[in-house]
Amino acid sequence: MTEGFIVVVALLVFAVITLLKGVRIVPQGEEWIVERLGKYHTTLVPGLNIIIPYLDQVAYKLVTKDIILDVQEQEVITRDNAVIVTNAIAFIKITDPIKAVYGVTDFSEAIRNMIMTTLRSIVGEMQLDEALSNRDKIKARLRESIADEAIDWGLTVKSVEIQDIKPSPSMQKAMEMQASAERERKAMVTRAEGEKQSMILQAEARLEAAQRDANATVTLAAASAEAIKRVSAAIGDQEGPMRYMLGEKYITAMGRIAESPNAKTILLPADIQETVRGLLGRKA
């Protein structure tokens, strides 16, 4: 009796375990790949599913929600031999679980490596400035380049975003030195232009001053000539008035010399007597 009870209990336990192995509940957002004797058999969709225990086996569990793939940072050389550092992030979705499982060993790693390779190729065709300022263009070309391969693996590439793209540390240092040299060059040009303009203005000022001096000299000469002409016309052939005017100017000049604060000694000319006689209207 005891042995029979044990056998019954063992059979019941086996039946329960078998039943549990045959029932599979797939959560929403997943699909399971079932293999029968090592070969693909069916795909379990979300909900309650029944399989044959011991013959069928759930080989793969795939997420059908959008998958985020982080593409690691890498150094890329541009067409003008500049080194930049860039990384990306991809959003993919499994649309054909069978191809995703049996079409490639690891679809996540395959997409990640394809993005890295394609990104190096795209950036390698650009100049440094173009690469740094055209993220949208790089993103569009990157998505277009990997879309066909992704379809063969049962995947849809929804978006590829460039997270960061910047010059390498050594390149940043070189760019800073170049920018500093450019600023210094512009400063030197500005100083040179200022000095040039200053010299031009000084030359123009000297030219204008010389012209004004020349005009003044001409005007004074013309005035003196007119004065001499009028005096000559007024005096005529008489020597007295002429002697008087010259003597007066002579004595005035001597007085200014005597009044000068720097004058320590006054030298009287030898013809002082003749000058006085001229003023008095006497003849020698």
Residues 6+ apart with CB under 8 A from 231: 245
Do residues 92 and 109 touch, judged by C-beta distance below 8 A? no
In this prediction, residue 284 carries a pLDDT of 45
Do residues 36 and 55 touch, judged by C-beta distance below 8 A? yes
The 10 Å Cβ neighbour count of residue 6 is 10
CATH topology of domain 67-167: Tetrahydropterin Synthase; Chain A (3.30.479)
| Closest CA relative to residue 89, chosen from 114, 62, 112, 109 | 112
Mean pLDDT for back-to-back runs of 10 residues, the chain (284 residues): 72 78 89 91 91 88 91 87 88 91 89 90 87 86 86 89 80 68 80 86 85 83 73 64 63 66 56 55 49
In this prediction, residue 236 carries a pLDDT of 62
Do residues 153 and 100 touch, judged by C-beta distance below 8 A? yes
In this prediction, residue 263 carries a pLDDT of 53
In this prediction, residue 283 carries a pLDDT of 47
In this prediction, residue 246 carries a pLDDT of 62
